[in-house]
């Protein structure tokens, strides 16, 4: 029996056909979104805008699934009628305005050329003022809604985007009957569900991005929403948000015909890519999955036997958002690979044929250094700090430079900084009683850079394991497909058969651990001095003051 | 009438013939020291060793002065018998062991191949343990000797070097009758003075490097010196150290014949290059001269009408060391151009044909940035901090990096950091009642980089002037030559005729000043947090802890 996982990334969609008995990946196909720049619709007047064309998502499902199923058919044992389930994961929060029939407004006249009517991609930051409004309103009004997402609402999230649309593109907001997360839009579309009032809303998106929680009445109250903007409460949905072990419906005959599958296959409720990636990597109680890419997403489920305390600084604590029946804990670092890429792009001395070659050369040179040898320590905040400080207005720092400091020493210090950031997250879990017994890494950096993994092992003082699959998000989606098919009683049972780690495990090296424990104390001293706001910390405003000056100068308020 | 200035640098000696009525530079000649690597004798076994061959100094006088005088003769009005005085400046502390007849041991058997018998160049750091011993002995014994040199004795200085020679090359120490600074050796040699007991010892070297001061009995007491090493007191000289408006003697017939000048010309007492350079740049009461090169040397005289307080953190406060009759104040930054060169060497992205081209490109890009626009602030401590913290174990820091920070932004932040360091020195002068009314800059950076000068003007909120002469050290030496000739009653009168500044003055730009005042507050917050040792400052040990870890790892005490 087989399951199909469909993974909607930022620039493309991938379909994966998986043997559910073994987790063997039979066939895969990728479809690049054709619209805009690498699939993203930009606005020359506002660099914060990042939208997508819903038509790309639909065509992407047809093309990628059809090709993967077609390729799978080259495998002796495969047959289309052996596909028992489908799962879908997507980026998010990526809400799409739809009409009463569930159709994306962007696909209809007169909205085809209206950017506000398209999908609002997760990394669209045009709603930063609205995010601040929401944080202020929740805080000032004494509402509990931010307790589960670290205390600060983000411009990347559901309500910020809808609010910004109401204020800047009222014609779209008025025409919208509802806003549907991409993670819910795809399962609804492929199951032929055209009623926005009845389509399955996933707990993953609702809980992490829309302030949905059973401790209050699901979504924030109508009074709260209308207090932000009269009419905003119209976009509250009344349905109960559900986890991905539930079925969103069955593959419609129309869609089935286009992708070469039989109609009627159950389709799991969607979820975000990182969460299904964690499942595909083998997360479980005490097992943290780190998805290492340009940034990091750290996911771990925790048992619901006891009420979990709110953990300060965690992006999200949402029941059932990763594995049904467990709390889903999400943390992350705002930049990991992005910091290494920044260094190579702006500061790596020449002679390399391309940036990949520069990474290889710097990695080789950095690998020859001993921990502590450079005398450098850096903070990994070039893109702010998501966990545990939850502060986008923090910036990078490096200390210890001499006249002999080399580029490889700095490159290694930046790697170490991201590892110290990773350890800070693990420690925060532990401080609140959630013990991290095992770490499984996935993503490009984890697979390609043994130096990074060894440094993470030495600094976190824990073995670093690597997910066996290189397509953990799509694999996680396929796992949920197998569960809604009834092939497994629950996610853990499916994971036991379908996931695994590579044989190569990076074990901590004792001598390195000892040096890094000393360096971590220095990292924490810097972390606290620059990151914790306090009148008794004279440096706690340095980074924000610099940003304030920068913004003022750039806006030309000072005519220098 | 003409004066000849002879300037002994680290790699070469320059002779300059100057019209004393106008300061016009008639002719100049440079002689590169032929021995060792660029004139420096190295020890493959110890990178701290830097010695020079005294024969190079003697040949250098003959060759450079002869050529300059010969070239001057091409000028219509010049004649050798119109040369009325000679001045000499040198690097230092650069002591030379000599025998009872004043001859350098290195020029005699059996010491010709003995590195310890050669000149110990200023930047020889092999005596660091001895420097620590001296600092400890002075401090523990309650001796006042370090009060005028910032509280810490240096491995670059006179007694450290002699002590190291006694401990590591006793055959040289035993053969030495005296140790003579290069600044005293040359005037003695060219005036035929062969008695080390009677040659003029300049106050500049004695006061700044040998702990000589009239507040105590000139040099440190015999008891103190012998407490460091029995017999060290043998190298106390009994003469009173004198300023450079006094004559060291008259040009000997032998030397005069070799250089094409008449015998009997008065030769001024020597001094260090930076101090005579300050004179050649036009320093005076309220006028600070900054010599900007790989590091900076900041010199200013102050009136002796009132007793000057000891200014914490100043390298030296020595009566008459710059201008006779005034206090000589010396401060400095451990690295200026060296920081820019470090950045270009290790961190400038490729595509430049050479480092000069990289400097030009980065300077052009940095010039397009507005103050504060980058959001960066750096500390200029890559080579420690000479003034006002007097701490070689401080290191560099940069804060404010994002994922978009460019190399030009960092380059500009490093320039700004050195300017903030310059302002900190100026402020320290002011805090102790020594007002800096004017700043004159000289050296390669001052002449070649308008961006650096504009940033210095904006950050120091003072006009930045540039010395008219590009050879200020040799010009300063010639000024002292003219004074000992009696052509002028004092140094100030000679400066009035012989020095000047360029027409181009960099005036502070009001809007930039305002932004930089905000940024300086941040610089000072970092400066104090990382630079001032205090238990209430949690970051005050960060840089030293990192160095301690680095040293331990590099020494292999931890076998990683």
Kindly report whether the peptide bond that precedes residue B191 is cis, defined as omega within 30 degrees of 0: no
Q: Which of A73, A52, A67 is nearest to A14 (CA)?
A: A67
Tokens representing residue B431 in the block = 């805090």
Q: What is B375-426 written as a DSSP string? A: --EEE--BTBB-SSS-BTT--EEEEEE-TT--HHHHHHHHHHHHHHHHHHHH
The counts of H helices and E strands in chain A are 18, 20
With an 8 Å Cβ cutoff, are A396 and B395 in contact? no
Question: Which range is least confidently modeled, A9-23, A45-59, B138-152, B355-369?
Answer: B138-152
Query: Which tens digits make up the pLDDT trace of A363-373?
Result: 999 999 999 99
Answer for the pair B372, A552: CB distance below 8 angstroms, yes or no.
yes
- Judge whether residue B559 has pLDDT over 70: no
Query: Which tens digits make up the pLDDT trace of B342-352?
Result: 999 999 877 67
Q: Residue A171 has what pLDDT? A: 98
Element (H, E) at B97: strand B95-98
**β-pairing, A326-333 with A316-319?**
antiparallel
B518 in contact with chain A, both atoms CB, cutoff 8 A: yes
B 364-383 residues with CB < 8 A to A? 370-377, 382-383
- Judge whether residue B47 has pLDDT over 90: no
The counts of H helices and E strands in chain B are 18, 20
Query: Cα(B183)–Cα(B93) distance, rounded to whole angstroms?
Result: 9
Answer for the pair A421, B427: CB distance below 8 angstroms, yes or no.
no
- Judge whether residue A315 has pLDDT over 80: no
Query: Which tens digits make up the pLDDT trace of B383-424?
Result: 999 899 988 889 999 999 999 999 999 999 999 999 999 999
DSSP code, position A518:
H
- Judge whether residue A262 has pLDDT over 80: yes
With an 8 Å Cβ cutoff, are A352 and B350 in contact? yes
User: Distance of CA B435 to CAs A394, B388, B426, B432, Å?
Assistant: 39, 16, 8, 8
Find the farthest-apart pair of alpha carbons in chain A and give their distance in angstroms, rounded: 72
The distance of Cα B518 from the centroid of its chain, to the nearest Å, equals: 32
Q: Residue A349 has what pLDDT? A: 77
Q: Which of B85, B105, B109, B86 is nearest to B95 (CA)?
A: B105
Q: Which residues in chain A have Cβ-Cβ distances shorter than 8 Å to B383?
A: 402-403
Q: Which residues in chain B have Cβ-Cβ distances shorter than 8 Å to A550?
A: 372-375, 400
The neighbouring-strand residues paired with A19 are: A2
In angstroms, the separation between the Cα of residue A413 and the nearest Cα of chain B is: 12
| Residue of B402, B512, B534 to mutate, testing the A interface (most A Cβ within 10 Å of its Cβ) | B402
Q: Which of B143, B158, B164 is nearest to B202 (CA)?
A: B158
Three-state DSSP at A193 gives coil
User: Distance of CA A461 to CAs A173, A419, B432, B528, Å?
Assistant: 51, 11, 52, 34
**β-pairing, B438-442 with B464-466?**
parallel
Answer for the pair B41, B123: CB distance below 8 angstroms, yes or no.
no
Q: Which residues in chain A have Cβ-Cβ distances shorter than 8 Å to B406?
A: 346
Q: Residue B452 has what pLDDT? A: 98
The ipTM of this complex is 0.90
Query: Which tens digits make up the pLDDT trace of B93-144?
Result: 999 999 999 999 999 999 999 999 999 999 998 998 999 999 999 999 999 9
Name the band, by pLDDT with cuts 50, 70 and 90, for residue B229: very high
Mean pLDDT across the stretch B325-341?
94
Find the farthest-apart pair of alpha carbons in chain B and give their distance in angstroms, rounded: 72
Q: Residue A352 has what pLDDT? A: 74
With an 8 Å Cβ cutoff, are A371 and B525 in contact? no
The neighbouring-strand residues paired with B276 are: none
Answer for the pair A466, A504: CB distance below 8 angstroms, yes or no.
yes
Question: Which range is least confidently modeled, A304-313, A329-338, A429-438, A473-482?
Answer: A304-313
Q: Residue B349 has what pLDDT? A: 77
Helix B273-281 to helix B491-498 angle (10° resolution) is 60
Query: Cα(B349)–Cα(A344) distance, rounded to whole angstroms?
Result: 9
**CA A76-A81-A83 angle, 5° bins:** 85
In angstroms, the separation between the Cα of residue A505 and the nearest Cα of chain B is: 20
Contacts for A242 with CB less than 8 Å, ≥ 6 apart: A200, A201, A202, A203, A269
Query: Cα(B355)–Cα(B344) distance, rounded to whole angstroms?
Result: 6
Name the band, by pLDDT with cuts 50, 70 and 90, for residue B557: low
Q: Which of B93, B97, B84, B102 is nearest to B131 (CA)?
A: B93
Pick the residue from chain A with its C-alpha nearest to B539. Answer: A525
Tokens representing residue B172 in the block = 């040289």
Q: Which of A506, A15, A66, A477 is nearest to A292 (CA)?
A: A506
Query: Which tens digits make up the pLDDT trace of B10-45?
Result: 999 999 999 999 999 999 999 999 999 999 999 988
A407 in contact with chain B, both atoms CB, cutoff 8 A: yes
Determine whether B186 is exposed, middle or buried from the number of CB atoms within 10 Å of its CB (0-12, 13-18, 19+): buried
Contacts for B201 with CB less than 8 Å, ≥ 6 apart: B181, B184, B237, B239, B241, B242
Q: Which of B196, B210, B177, B212 is nearest to B92 (CA)?
A: B210
Percent of chain B scoring above 70 in pLDDT: 99
| Residue of B383, B523, B549, B556 to mutate, testing the A interface (most A Cβ within 10 Å of its Cβ) | B549
- Judge whether residue A337 has pLDDT over 70: yes
Q: H/E/C letters for each residue in B289-343? A: EEEECCCEEEEEEEECCCCCCCCCCCCEEEECCCCCCEEEEEEEECCCHHHHHHH
Give the residue carrying structure tokens 């008794």.
A536
- How crowded is residue B552: how many other Cβ atoms within 10 Å of its Cβ? 15
Q: Which residues in chain A have Cβ-Cβ distances shorter than 8 Å to B520?
A: none
Answer for the pair A372, A518: CB distance below 8 angstroms, yes or no.
yes
- Judge whether residue B558 has pLDDT over 70: no
Query: Cα(B59)–Cα(B70) distance, rounded to whole angstroms?
Result: 16
pTM, full prediction: 0.91
Query: Cα(A90)–Cα(A57) distance, rounded to whole angstroms?
Result: 10
- How crowded is residue A78: how many other Cβ atoms within 10 Å of its Cβ? 17
Q: Which of A336, A379, A387 is nearest to A150 (CA)?
A: A387
Question: Which range is least confidently modeled, A42-51, B239-248, B424-433?
Answer: A42-51
Query: Cα(B16)–Cα(B4) distance, rounded to whole angstroms?
Result: 6
**CA A425-A421-A359 angle, 5° bins:** 135
Query: Cα(B88)–Cα(B273) distance, rounded to whole angstroms?
Result: 9
* A435 dihedral zone (left: phi>0; alpha: psi -120 to 50; beta): beta
Mean pLDDT across the stretch B40-57?
93
Tokens representing residue B93 in the block = 């502390």
- How crowded is residue B403: how many other Cβ atoms within 10 Å of its Cβ? 19
Contacts for A72 with CB less than 8 Å, ≥ 6 apart: A2, A17, A26, A27, A78
The neighbouring-strand residues paired with B292 are: B296
Q: What is A147-192 written as a DSSP string? A: TTTTT---TTSHHHHHHHHHHH-HHHHHH-SEEEEHHHHHHHHHTT
Query: Cα(A110)–Cα(A540) distance, rounded to whole angstroms?
Result: 50
- Judge whether residue B150 has pLDDT over 80: no
Q: Residue A557 has what pLDDT? A: 55
Query: Which tens digits make up the pLDDT trace of B482-511?
Result: 999 999 999 999 999 999 999 999 999 999
Cα dihedral A318/A319/A320/A325 (nearest 10): 160
In angstroms, the separation between the Cα of residue B365 and the nearest Cα of chain A is: 13
With an 8 Å Cβ cutoff, are B342 and A370 in contact? no
User: Distance of CA A247 to CAs A95, A244, B199, Å?
Assistant: 21, 7, 101
Which of the listed ranges A335-349, A410-424, B388-402 does the model predict with the highest average pLDDT? A410-424
The minimal CB distance from B372 to the residues A396, A397, A553 is found for: A553
Q: Residue A317 has what pLDDT? A: 85
Three-state DSSP at A96 gives strand
Answer for the pair A480, A506: CB distance below 8 angstroms, yes or no.
no
The distance of Cα A154 from the centroid of its chain, to the nearest Å, equals: 13
Give the residue carrying structure tokens 């940034």.
A295
Total residues belonging to chain A:
560
Name the band, by pLDDT with cuts 50, 70 and 90, for residue B560: very low
The neighbouring-strand residues paired with B98 are: B104, B178
**β-pairing, B271-272 with B83-90?**
parallel
């Amino acid at each position: 029996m087989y399951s199909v996982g469909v993974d909607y990334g930022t620039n493309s969609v991938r379909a994966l056909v998986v043997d559910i008995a073994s987790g063997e990946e039979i066939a895969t196909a990728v479809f690049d979104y054709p619209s805009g720049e690498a699939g993203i619709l930009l606005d020359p007047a506002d660099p914060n805008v990042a939208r997508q064309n819903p038509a790309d998502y639909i065509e992407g499902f047809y093309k990628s699934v059809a090709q993967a199923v077609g390729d799978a058919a080259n495998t002796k044992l495969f047959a289309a009628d052996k596909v028992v389930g489908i799962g879908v994961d997507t980026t998010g929060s990526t809400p799409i305005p739809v009409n009463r029939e569930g159709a994306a407004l962007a696909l209809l006249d007169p909205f085809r050329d209206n950017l506000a009517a398209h999908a609002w991609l997760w990394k669209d930051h045009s709603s930063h003022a609205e995010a601040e409004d929401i944080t202020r309103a929740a805080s000032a009004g004494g509402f509990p809604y931010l307790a589960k997402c670290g205390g600060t609402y983000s411009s990347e999230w559901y309500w910020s985007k809808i609010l910004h649309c109401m204020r800047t593109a009222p014609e779209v907001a008025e025409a919208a009957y509802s806003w549907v997360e991409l993670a819910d839009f795809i399962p609804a579309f492929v199951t032929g569900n055209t009623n926005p009032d009845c389509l399955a809303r996933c707990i993953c998106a609702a809980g992490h991005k829309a302030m949905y929680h059973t401790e209050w009445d699901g979504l924030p109250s109508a009074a709260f929403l209308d207090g932000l903007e009269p009419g905003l409460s119209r976009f509250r949905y009344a349905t109960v948000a559900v986890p991905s072990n539930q079925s969103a419906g069955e593959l419609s005959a129309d869609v089935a015909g286009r992708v070469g599958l039989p109609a009627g296959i159950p389709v799991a409720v969607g979820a975000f890519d990182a969460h299904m990636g964690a499942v595909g990597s083998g997360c479980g109680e005490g097992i943290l999955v780190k998805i290492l890419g340009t940034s990091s997403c750290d996911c771990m489920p925790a048992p619901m036997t006891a009420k979990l305390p709110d953990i300060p600084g965690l992006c999200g604590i949402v029941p059932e958002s990763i594995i049904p029946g467990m709390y889903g804990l999400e943390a992350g670092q705002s930049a990991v690979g992005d910091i290494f890429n920044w260094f190579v792009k702006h500061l790596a001395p020449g002679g390399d044929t391309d940036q990949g070659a520069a990474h290889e050369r710097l990695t080789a040179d950095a690998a020859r250094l001993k921990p502590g040898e450079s005398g450098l320590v850096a903070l990994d905040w070039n893109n702010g700090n998501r966990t545990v400080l939850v502060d986008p207005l923090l910036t990078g720092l490096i200390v210890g430079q001499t006249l002999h400091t080399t580029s490889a020493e700095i490159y290694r210090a930046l790697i170490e900084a991201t590892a110290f950031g990773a350890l800070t997250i693990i420690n925060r879990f532990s401080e609140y009683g959630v013990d991290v017994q095992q770490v499984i890494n996935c993503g490009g950096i984890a697979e390609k850079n043994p130096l990074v993994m060894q440094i993470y092992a030495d600094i976190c003082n824990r073995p670093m394991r690597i997910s066996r699959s290189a397509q953990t998000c799509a694999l996680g989606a396929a796992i949920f497909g197998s569960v809604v098919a009834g092939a497994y009683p629950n996610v853990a049972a499916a994971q036991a058969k379908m996931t695994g780690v590579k044989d190569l495990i990076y074990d901590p090296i004792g001598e390195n651990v000892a040096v890094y424990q000393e360096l971590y104390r220095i990292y924490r001293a810097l972390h606290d001095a620059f990151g914790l706001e306090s009148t008794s910390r004279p440096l706690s405003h340095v980074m924000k003051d610099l940003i304030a000056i920068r913004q003022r100068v750039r806006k030309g308020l000072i005519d220098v």
